[in-house]
Structure 1
Amino acid sequence: MVEALKSLKPEEAKTMLEAPVWITILIASADHSIDKDELDEALEMIHLRETTGRFVLREYYHEVDQTFKEDLNKAVNALPEDEQKAGELVMGHLTKLNDILPKLDRKFAIQFYDAMQDFSSKIAKANGGFLGWFRINYDESKVVDLPMIDDPSKY
């Protein structure tokens, strides 16, 4: 168990550990289709951040990396066919973080939030664009900053 999450209830810790899965799906599905490049980028980033990510989050990434590929595949396969219902499911998972982040050490919560925004941006840039320009499309630009998650530096 990640030391920073030990004070949480088991379902809250699970929500924290699954956040990258739901962020991946949010960004990958923003343009109405989940692209393999975006999923591959997410898998690579989680694995890489286990050793090169922000120090305070390395233990977190190590734990996430243990089941990320499996969790991501399960979540993608379990998405409802209806886009609106799928979107509500994803948003429901991510908005749970608003009740959890204030319970964590403030430094960890802020680093987590910043890292998830960076993670989101890198997934969005994994596909599309013309000669490296306009890589984040309009639909992705509406969610890439994770507006459904409250910034813990503001409380």
Structure 2
Amino acid sequence: MKFTVISYPKGSDHPDGETDVSEVGVEALANLLGIPADSLIDVYPLGEVQLVALHRISRISFDLSSHEYFLEPQGSAGEDAKQSFGWPTVAMAVGTRVTVVRDGSWDGPWQVEFQGTIDDLHAPEPVRHSMAREGELEYWVVFDEPQYDSSGHGPFRGAQIWDRYLIPEV
């Protein structure tokens, strides 16, 4: 199993880094979180205590003043460990046509509104971020045309998108 630490700039819903921490080992990572190793299947926010301990083990540096960090396990062959639990019953179905919208409170997360399709690359999962709404899911969406995010990065042909930015087409 592969384990990565995903970093998000504070106040952003777009990750800006990913670090493989698999060499630390499943037992050590489970101990950092205080859970059994066989339960290490979700995305976990990492606080200061866990990041200090992870730094001691791995020598990887973390900047809590500017970023938030999450531990994400992945199964073999790149298959997300959570996917084995199936598609959430409350989620939009694979193949649902959606419009990806901009947020009215800031200039993003995309430069324009556009159409796409819910993809089955990974099952929808709860958003693990301090700005997430209760029960909010994120989906893999394939775009009809390549798009640029609000920071000018891209073009992207698809992305993982929070459901607050998706309007299903009727």
Query: Shared topology, TM-score over 0.5?
Result: no
Higher RCO (C-alpha under 8 Å, 6+ residues apart): 1
Larger radius of gyration: 2
Considering fraction of residues, name the structure with more helix: 1
| TM-score interval for Structure 1 and Structure 2 normalised by the shorter chain | under 0.3
Considering fraction of residues, name the structure with more strand: 2
